[in-house]
């Protein structure tokens, strides 16, 4: 017999599994000896009051053994000679599209513009230390996509789009810690995710799939409304019948190519702002009521903030406790910042994007002449502005939060995790009013919600611009482009996902749709 229970334990209570077992036996009015095992299903933290409480969801096995293996099976089969499906991009959407192809008996042929996870490291070192941007291999492009070296957070609200648990179990199958099956806000870590990504690649190759790195798609070749071939690196042509387009939110050349060929794309609302960085001990003090030194059982504290300011949302995005700010530019004359955390989340700093919602129809009238690319051009202009104000390198413009709100240049800046370095700049006047004025109001409101959050010890760093794609690629009820048969826009680049898990699920869905449409 199996019983599921919700149990709570205070942080100061030691030997938590023993306490869980006792609470379970007391709740069920059973002798502990009749309980053959206990399995933690979910764990979360309630830090609203002191002491901090752990919430557990547990399965109690009564005179029954805990199963040793997952109930999920991944039926990979040899597809060496099977019918091919081409996949453009090898981020989460592309990886899980490829894995799903193998399960369903089709051969994935993956084209990835960037490098494999090992070789990407050299280009990340180059941008961090030498300010050199490789436009095809960086924090956004390469094996595993943007998530590989920028955190690996797995939290998703996309519970109705597919089997979330299946993706989590598959990540564990490929080497991720089983803790991601338990934690309320699961996280792999930028130091652990590359190994998982490599294992996924090896699975695809083992069963007969093909993956080509340094393979940038440069043209779509159509006959009438049917996709017939892909041009790769301006030279080679590959005949295709079904293509999963999973290029991510930063593959701007794909949007330009689609527009050039009169293949329908649409402007999409998005968000832009800055990344803010506090000493982690400040966030710990606020969230855990601990005066800076948190209990060793507690992870580095995170936060989630949102306010409405002048009819636009101002909110935290991609919060990284115990993390680092990284340069995420994909072109030579731009500054883009993003955040990541290693698995232990043991950096001295906490960072988060603080962004303002941009309504693409109401807020960008001056950019209307760009049509579907107006949001993209707006992004580019702000990234270029950050580049010039930062000193025309990967040094980023920054300001103390209090100086930003008060409208004055910072005489000096706080220490930062951002490796290329910071330069004091008047972000309060450089950012467009639609963003800057809302951020200034938002920071003051956040300071009232979290006492101590509004402080001169925090830097704001510009710009956080790649929250999501400012372009969507339409698709019909069959998940196929309404204009081009055989093309399946997918994941974040198509405007259909907002993170690793939702992108992975969308990759699976697109493959299933492509196969169904063959019949």
Give the pLDDT confidence score for residue 505 in this predicted structure.
95
CA distances from 109 to 36, 90, 102, 222 (A): 47, 10, 11, 19
**Rounded to 5 degrees, what are φ and ψ at 471?**
-135, 140
Predicted local distance difference test score (pLDDT) of residue 147: 81
Separation in Å, CA 400 to CA 227, 276, 307, 408, 410: 51, 9, 21, 9, 6
> Is 97:246 a contact under the CB 8 Å cutoff?
yes
Residue 31 pLDDT = 86
Q: Tell me: the pLDDT tens digits for 255-264?
A: 999 999 999 9
227: alpha, beta or left? (left if phi > 0; alpha if psi -120 to 50) = beta
Please give the domain boundaries of the chain with CATH numbers for all domains: 2-62 (3.30.70.2700), 84-265+473-516 (3.50.50.60), 267-464 (no CATH)
337-375, pLDDT tens digit by residue?
A: 999 999 899 999 999 999 999 999 999 999 999 999 999
Closest by CA position to 323, among listed 291, 277, 273, 272? 277
Convert 137-156 to b/e letters by CB count within 10 Å (16 or more is b). Answer: bbbbbbbbbbbbbbbbbbeb
> What whole-number distance in Å separates Cα of residue 418 and Cα of residue 150?
13
Residue ranges of the chain with pLDDT lower than 50?
none
pLDDT at 152: 67
Sign for the CA dihedral angle at 207, 189, 295, 7 comes to: negative
Contact at 8 Å (CB) between 165 and 116?
no
410 - beta bridge partners? Answer: none
In contact, 102 and 73? CB cutoff 8 Å:
no
- Note the pTM of the prediction, 2 decimals: 0.94
Using alpha carbons, list the distances in angstroms from residue 413 to 46, 281, 365: 34, 18, 35
pLDDT at 158: 63
> Strand ranges (DSSP E) for 292-367?
306-309, 312-320, 324-327, 337-340, 349-358
């Amino acid at each position: 017999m199996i019983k599921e229970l919700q149990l709570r334990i205070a942080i100061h209570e030691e030997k938590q599994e023993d306490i869980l077992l006792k609470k379970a036996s007391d709740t069920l009015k059973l002798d502990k000896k009749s309980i053959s095992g206990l399995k933690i299903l979910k764990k979360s933290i309630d830090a609203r009051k002191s002491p901090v409480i752990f919430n557990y969801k547990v399965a109690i096995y009564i005179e029954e053994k805990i199963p040793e293996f997952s109930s999920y099976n991944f039926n990979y089969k040899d597809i060496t000679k099977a019918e091919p499906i081409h996949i453009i991009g090898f981020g989460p959407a592309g990886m899980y599209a490829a894995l799903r192809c193998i399960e369903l008996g089709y051969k994935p042929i993956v084209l990835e513009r960037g490098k494999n996870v090992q070789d990407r490291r050299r280009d990340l070192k180059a941008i961090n230390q030498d300010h050199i941007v490789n436009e095809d291999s960086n924090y956004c492009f390469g094996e595993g996509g943007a998530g590989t070296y920028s955190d690996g957070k797995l939290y998703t609200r996309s519970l109705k789009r597919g089997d979330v648990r299946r993706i989590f179990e598959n990540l564990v199958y490929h080497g991720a810690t089983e803790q991601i099956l338990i934690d309320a806000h699961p996280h792999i870590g930028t130091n652990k995710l590359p190994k998982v990504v490599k294992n996924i690649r090896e699975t695809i190759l083992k069963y007969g799939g093909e993956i080509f790195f340094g393979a940038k798609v440069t043209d779509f070749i159509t006959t009438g409304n049917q996709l017939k071939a892909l041009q790769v690196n301006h030279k080679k042509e590959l005949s295709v019948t079904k293509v999963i387009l999973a290029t991510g939110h930063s593959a701007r050349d794909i949007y330009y190519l689609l527009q050039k060929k009169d293949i329908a794309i649409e402007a999409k609302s998005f968000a832009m702002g800055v990344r803010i960085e506090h000493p982690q001990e400040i966030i710990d003090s606020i969230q855990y009521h601990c005066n800076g030194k948190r209990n060793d059982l507690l992870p580095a504290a995170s936060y989630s903030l949102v306010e409405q300011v002048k009819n636009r949302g101002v909110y935290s995005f991609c919060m990284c406790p115990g993390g680092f700010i990284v340069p995420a530019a994909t072109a030579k004359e731009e500054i883009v910042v993003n955040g990541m955390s290693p698995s232990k989340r043991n950096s001295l700093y906490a960072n988060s994007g603080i962004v303002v919602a941009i309504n693409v129809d109401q807020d960008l009238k001056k950019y209307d002449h760009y049509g579907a690319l107006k949001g993209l051009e707006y992004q580019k202009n702000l990234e270029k502005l950050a580049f010039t104000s930062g000193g025309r390198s990967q040094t980023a413009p920054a300001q103390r939060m209090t100086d930003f709100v008060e409208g004055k240049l910072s005489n000096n800046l706080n220490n930062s995790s951002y490796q290329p370095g910071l330069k004091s700049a008047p972000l309060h006047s450089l950012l467009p009013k639609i963003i800057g004025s809302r951020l200034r109001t938002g920071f003051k409101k956040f300071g009232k919600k979290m006492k101590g959050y509004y402080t001169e010890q925090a830097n704001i760093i510009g710009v956080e611009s790649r929250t999501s794609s400012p372009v969507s690629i339409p698709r019909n009820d069959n998940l196929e482009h309404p204009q081009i048969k055989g093309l399946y826009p997918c994941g974040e680049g198509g405007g259909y996902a907002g993170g690793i898990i939702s992108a992975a699920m969308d990759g699976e869905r697109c493959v299933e749709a492509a196969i169904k449409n063959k019949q």
